[in-house]
Amino acid sequence: MLRRNYPSFREVVAKGELVRVAGAHDALGGVLAEQAGFNAVWSSSLEVSAARCLPDASVLTMTEYLEAAANMQKALGIPVIADCDTGYGNNLNVAHMVHEYEAAGITAVCMEDKLFPKLNSFAGGDQTLLSTEDFCSKIRVTKQAQRTEEFFVVARTEALINGMGIDVALERAYAYVDAGADAVLIHSKSKTKDEVEEFLERWDGRRPVVIVPTTYPDWHADDIAKAGVSVVIYANQGLRATVSSLRSTFESIQRHGDSTALEESIAPVKEVFGLQQLQAWQALEAV
């Protein structure tokens, strides 16, 4: 068994309460999410790519995404669920992905049913899906490749993103569960929750359902739970807040010629030391 000092994602989901997950791209963002009370952290391919000023279009390699997720997990007392896009290639790549992520202490991965290379769901461009059977094959490989029973695989269908409709989304989700998926993620870019809500009303509850309410942000967590959702991922709000905050901060310094106007609203250096656990590291010198 892999050693860790944090619960597995499976253990968190098994509690039966709505699991709230925050997207991040580095350990600092993950720690801030944990401090805010989130139950898990989403190692977002969009955020990790954006942190490199690169598109979320399978440009980075599995190794680069893995490094980001592993660095987060090492700093956290809550589990990381890794956004692994399409599994980084064919069935062999998927098996390698599972081995590497599990060895790094990641207890959950999410894989989507689009063709490799994939493009971010909210970007204009090709959103063609892999055939249902081919994606089921990938899921079967993930379950065969895992070394611990606790490893958790989320199968994400992009049927609604592709415009295929609720019926196809349900057909695919049921097939993915039958192939061994531990949960399904139903993704939508609709401006309302209606199609996701319909999916939930028709879902038979055989596995947990995960949602990402990026384009329908007004759905309250309490109502999300009542609708039958097990996991809600706020996948990119932290990244977007960072962009706005850094832009405002840097523009203020340039405009005023100093940082005086900002000092009351930005974290003191002492707080940064706290996030770095500086005192604990300094204490090692006295051992």
DSSP state of 129: B
Q: Measure Cα distances from 134 to 70, 89, 110, 178, 191 in Å.
A: 28, 12, 16, 13, 30
Separation of first and last alpha carbons in the chain: 31
Q: Is 188 helix (H, G, I), strand (E, B) or coil?
A: coil
Residue with token string 């619960």: 7
CA distance 112 to 169: 12
How many alpha carbons lie under 13 Å from residue 134 in its C-beta half-sphere? Answer: 13
Residue linked to tokens 């706290």: 274
- Evaluate whether 161 touches 121 at the Cβ level (below 8 Å): yes
Residue 5's contacts (CB-CB under 8 Å, 6 or more residues apart) are: 77
Residues known to be catalytic: 56
